[in-house]
Copies of this chain bind each other. A is one copy, B any other.
């Protein structure tokens, strides 16, 4: 096993930055009170989707029960009221990312749609031979849209390799930037390895080369404070359901001057200024990019999730999770035959691993019987699996409600796996 020394600071329980009471937080999440196969649920799959606090569920329910209406087009009270609330979530998202203006926030279904939006509205302006750079550790959501763009316009797709410890190879990246590089699309945090990429430097170098940068922030916004202006990101995308919000809502941040120039992606109601058969004109951003009835109530839920996270404090969450990561790394490393993938110094609370001679799918089935929910498979990152020559891994990913007890339960369950496979 590689050394875990670098993981030991801060150690478990060291929540010196405004620590919060995890048990009280857990009480906010009804699902964590559930049992599975007669065992208490040990939820370690927040990287796939996080559980939701009551505050989020109640906010959505309250809207449907007391003031539901379609937005943007109503002269009556409920419609105006809900339009104001829907639009105010834009301000919350802008705050979450430290965007300059809420007009830079486009609501989407998820981060996948946000990336596809950029691949169409911005990407279609690229020409054959232009280059888009991604990395070996991207989620399919940040690979396939660019492959589809390649099919449409003939761009070249270049792939930054990653180091054996799972860190981003800045040297290789820098040498790939060139005069034809138009866009760099890189994850801020790997959903498999946990690696936090040196995004500020990635962006600085891209801008020096005259390229724009799209950041896949799906895993990053949930683990730490993001500041798009400090990063100088051009596009930043994330998904609500991993941030303790509901399904069916995500957001794209884009610099105002970029959004202004981008043609619409989907056409329909709400995204137009005026429609006639002869000539249709489009609304200003962000509405230009939001066709049809939006995820109204889901936006309200996302707003409540952001409030919830802010209430605890992102710094406190980061500190708590750093403690969990250190503990999990230490405990899992001590399991014989267990290999951890991803040992980057900057790392979020995600641990991928395999057990010698036991397929991850079998691990998943067996620990499930102990109430442990972990993800096993390729994690929508097949090229990364190939990079590490594994068909799949098991992955424990932690959220603000996890405890060192959860890790202990996982480790005990893994011992049972080994026992069974003798």
Contact = CB atoms under 8 A, between A and B. Distances in A.
A151 to B, nearest CB: 8
A31 B374 contact: no
Interface in A107-130: 109-113, 115-116, 119
B382 A276 contact: yes
A70 B57 contact: no
A361 interface: yes
A277 B70 contact: no
A116 B268 contact: yes
A355 to B, nearest CB: 14
A131 B272 CA distance: 23
A205 interface: no
A291 interface: yes
Contacts of A52: 64, 68
User: How extensive is the interface on chain A, given as a class?
Assistant: 35 or more
B79 A373 contact: yes
A113 B268 CA distance: 8
Contact of A269 (B51, B140, B266, B274): B140
A36 B239 contact: no
A375 interface: yes
A178 interface: no
A295 interface: yes
Interface string A261-272: 000101111111
A145 B266 contact: yes
A35 to B, nearest CB: 10
Contacts of A139: 268-269
A40 interface: no
Interface in A54-110: 56-57, 60-61, 64-70, 73-79, 109-110
Copies of this chain present in the complex amount to 2
Contact of A386 (B57, B270, B276): B276
Given A75-B365, A382-B274, A141 B269 contact: yes
A48 B76 CA distance: 12
Interface string A225-248: 000000000000001010000111
Contacts of A110: 292-293
A30 B65 contact: yes
Contacts of A372: 76
A2 to B, nearest CB: 27
Contacts of A277: 143, 157, 159, 383
A18 interface: no
A76 B275 contact: no
Nearest to A246: B297
Nearest to A112: B292
Nearest to A149: B267
B292 A247 contact: no
A373 B48 contact: no
B116 A266 contact: yes
Interface string A31-47: 10010110001000100
A296 interface: yes
Nearest to A240: B293
27 contacts: A30-B65, A36-B76, A48-B79, A57-B61, A57-B64, A74-B364, A75-B365, A76-B367, A76-B373, A110-B292, A110-B293, A113-B266, A115-B268, A116-B268, A116-B291, A139-B268, A143-B267, A143-B275, A143-B277, A145-B268, A157-B277, A247-B296, A247-B297, A248-B248, A248-B296, A248-B298, A274-B382
A-B pairs with the 10 shortest C-beta distances?
A: A112-B292, A144-B267, A75-B364, A112-B268, A248-B295, A248-B248, A269-B380, A141-B268, A49-B70, A30-B65
Given A140-B267, A143-B280, A247-B297, 19 more contacts: A31-B68, A37-B77, A41-B78, A48-B69, A48-B74, A57-B64, A57-B65, A60-B60, A75-B361, A76-B373, A112-B291, A112-B293, A113-B292, A116-B268, A141-B292, A145-B266, A147-B280, A274-B382, A276-B386
